[in-house]
Chain A
Amino acid sequence: MSGLRLLQGRAGSNLRRERRTALLLILPSLAVVFGIILYPLLRTLWTSLFDVNSPFPGSYPFVGLGNYRRTLTNPDFWAAVRRTAYFTIVSTLLELGLGILLGLLMNVQFRGRWLLRSIMVLPWALPTIVNGTMWRWIFNPDYGALNALLTQMHILSHYRSWLGSPSLALNMVVLADVWKNTPLAAFLVLAGLQTIPKELFEAARVDGAGPIRTFFRITLPLLSSTILIILVVRTIEAFKVFDIIYVMTRGGPANGTQTVAYYAYLQAFSNPLFGYAAALAYMMALFILGIALVYIRLLRQEVEF
């Protein structure tokens, strides 16, 4: 009896020691996870429950879900959500469409294909800040390249302002974003195309299917999982868009390009309403989580070929 207890005790202490070692070993990674993911997440959640209006730590009035209520009842927030949705949908669809076309082109054997493939990487490799600055110069109303090009081709009779009116500015920012991110879609499509067995195309040709029919009956269905991945990556990225807006328009004119992320940034650092901005950040995270859940479900249903 006593021997058994001793044995149990020894086993217990062994187990405890083992657990201690395990804990010690995972402590560094735990510290990292707590430090850079969980702590900021929880701290932001905590901040969002208070009326924090300065960057310093201190005691602020507790407002419960007040900041969230304020978010949901604020027309500025919903206007920013609508603009962000427009930006996300239009830019993602354009990037996908152009990406498929360019991916198909890059998959065809022709001289100078290596050149096309190398050039295609460039826009994607540019930092967004550089890309935004470059497009700001291209769109410059008085000495921008776009005005010069269009007037010299006699498409425009005189120089015009591209970022000076709200809806046009949003479309121009979409254009800059599409230019930068289409290569990502194109390369994913190219990778997807290379996994499709050649025999399928040969069989289609033997059966007398033309290139268009082959594309819609074979290529597109077999690319569906690639397309889904492009949609997931680009929607989530586009929904969080901030830097290109910051560089190109700072949300103007007349708030025409103010997205949710930019709106949250202004509230936090400019106004400085950190509590309200924290609630905004959580609302954004929830939106993105919702989109991600839909996509994950779709991805699971995806069948292999």
Chain B
Amino acid sequence: MTTNGVGRSSPLTRRAFLKVSGAAAGVAALAACSNEESPSKGGAASGTINALFMQQAAYSTADIQGMTKAFQQANPGIKVTPTFVAYEALHDKIVAAAPAGTYDVVLMDVIWPAEFGSKHEVIDVTDRIPSGWKTTIFPGALQTAEYQARFYGVPWILDTKYFFYNKNMLKKADVAVPTTWDEVVTAAKTLKSKKVVQYPLVWSWSQAEAVICDYAQLLGAFGGKFLDDAGKPVFNTGGGLQALEFMKRTLDEGITNPSSTEALEEDVRKTISQGQAAMALNWTYMFALGNDPKESRVAGQIAVAHTPSGPAAAPGCNGSMALCIASGSKNPDAAWKYIEFLTSQKVQNQYAKLSLPIWKSSYDDPQVVKTLPEVVAVAKTQLNDMILRPQIPSYNSASQILQVSIQKALTGRASSKQALDDAASRIAAP
């Protein structure tokens, strides 16, 4: 070919490219349209649906597979394919899969409805929710799926951080079960000085949402608030500051395991189960697993209590999660049927061992009470006393800023005040 020919052919390819990219954009636009379509109601619910769950805390993989099997037996027309990811990967997987419509049902954490709702990543299901549910479900559970008075899912996991302690260790050191954070510190010092355990306390203070859960619980105890009524960060004053100072002090005094700054909830559970800590905050599931001889060296020694109180209150961090229909779902009716089944009182009562039901009356149901008598007794009061993390669409970036600031203070790179002031000003700036 002559150079002239090359010169002539190059605009051709450019034009061809524009056509290709135009077509691609067209396809993308079509996909967007189908995404925003409202769920078609009526019609037979059948077909295949994909569901995304987490493999951490609450219901185990085996539990969810058992529920799914029962659902398919009851609904032979619907086939469900569950997928499991770590909690830390759950949000990003939902976001990345959203435009492709890979999943029909996704598990949403209590901190995401603002983002998922405002960005239409999941379907608004307000109209599908029977009005009766507002009185029969715990209010703390319903909040999980709610943003600006609309519902974006059905609560499924009703969870908060309880206070767990090793009965034998406390007895050995001759200390009573602490009910306030001051008593926890005193008990921990006694446990340490009597050489019952080197680090009596262990926490999930890794750079992850886990540290915010522990911090939220302490912030509530010390009477702090994340945001004021105008939405301005105020956690750098009063209770919010005292909470972080408290966390740092337990590290400085050697009563908190220094590995806490790299630990998630699972690490806390393993440390407690190894008999290497006496007290910790964790989700419901640690009670059953901590007392399971196959999972724990201290089976039978782990007890649960209402979270200790600070000067202000004793709220548990609301760690509930909801099941939602992804906006890309091609089969929202089948997805809804599956969600209804998983969240039904019958199924929840049956699988109460690792995660307690969202239904108020379940807590007097003999089947549930028999499964976890100790936890149910504590849950009855704790579930009515919870603190929510801020419901804002940009929650994740705010949380990352706060995680880093908290860790800077905990690892001694900044004072608690400096760290929180810095986080507050960065979250306030757009």
Residues of chain A at the chain B interface (Cβ within 8 Å): 15, 19, 30-31, 34, 38-39, 42-43, 53-58, 141-143, 158, 160-166, 169, 249-255, 265-266, 269-273
Q: Is the CB of B258 within 8 A of A255?
A: no
Interface residues in B192-209 by Cβ distance below 8 A to A read: 198, 206-208
Q: Which of A165, A251, A265, A270 contacts B396 (CB 8 A)?
A: A270
**Known interface pairs A55-B98, A57-B28; A252-B259 also in contact (CB < 8 Å):** no
The verdict on A270 contacting B411 (CB below 8 Å), with A19-B9, A143-B274, A161-B261 known, is: no
Name the B residues within 8 Å of A142 (CB-CB).
Answer: 257, 259, 267, 270-271, 274, 276
Inter-chain contact A57/B32, CB cutoff 8 Å: yes
Q: A57-B99, A142-B271 are in contact. Are A266 and B413 (CB under 8 A)?
A: no
Nearest CB of A to B32, in Å: 5
User: In the docked arrangement, what's the CA distance between A103 and B411, Å?
Assistant: 40
Q: B274 to A254, Cβ gap below 8 A?
A: no
Contact B411–A254 (Cβ < 8 Å)? yes
Which residues does chain B contribute within 8 Å of A15, judged by CB atoms?
5
CB within 8 Å of A: which B206-220 residues:
206-208
Give 13 pairs: A residue, B residue, CB < 8 Å, sorted on A: A34-B20, A42-B21, A57-B25, A57-B99, A142-B257, A142-B270, A164-B260, A166-B407, A166-B411, A252-B403, A252-B407, A253-B411, A270-B397
Contact stretch, chosen from B89-97, B183-191, B225-233: B89-97
Cα distance, A78 to B153, chains bound together (Å): 39
Q: Is the interface of B mostly helix, strand, loop or mixed?
A: helix
Q: In the complex the two chains form, is B404's CB within 8 Å of A270's CB?
A: no
Is chain A's binding surface mostly helix, strand, loop or mixed? loop
Does chain A have a CB within 8 A of B394? yes
B31 within 8 A of A: yes
Chain A residues positioned under 8 Å from B46 (CB to CB):
none
Among A54, A160, A169, residue most surrounded by chain B Cβ atoms (within 10 Å): A54
Verify A271–B262 contact, CB threshold 8 A.
no
Interface membership of chain B positions 239-280, coded 1 if the CB is closer than 8 angstroms to chain A and 0 otherwise? 000000000000000000111111000010011001010000
**A253-B98 CB under 8 A given contacts A57-B29, A142-B271:** no
Q: Tell me whether A39 and B31 are in contact (CB under 8 A).
A: no
Question: Which A residues are in CB contact (< 8 Å) with B32?
Answer: 56-58
A253 contacts which chain B residues (CB < 8 A)?
A: 206-207, 261-262, 407, 410-411
Q: Could you tell me the distance between the alpha carbons of A158 and B259 in the complex, rounded to whole angstroms? A: 13
Tell me which residues across on chain B come within 8 A of A161, comparing CB atoms: 258-259, 261-262
> CA separation between A78 and B338, bound complex, in Å?
47
Q: Is B17 an interface residue (CB 8 A)?
A: yes
Q: How far is the CB of B286 from chain A (nearest CB, A)?
A: 16
B259 lies within 8 A of A164 (CB): yes
Whether B134 sits at the interface, judged by CB under 8 Å, is no
Return the chain A residue nearest B12 by Cβ.
A23
Q: Which of B1, B98, B206 is in CB contact (< 8 Å) with A56?
A: B98
Cβ-defined contact, A141 with B207, below 8 A: no
The answer to whether B259 and A271 touch across the interface, beta carbons within 8 angstroms, is: no
User: Given known contacts A54-B119, A254-B413, what 12 new A-B pairs fall within 8 Å (CB)?
Assistant: A34-B17, A39-B20, A58-B32, A142-B274, A169-B262, A252-B262, A253-B410, A254-B207, A266-B400, A269-B96, A270-B91, A270-B92
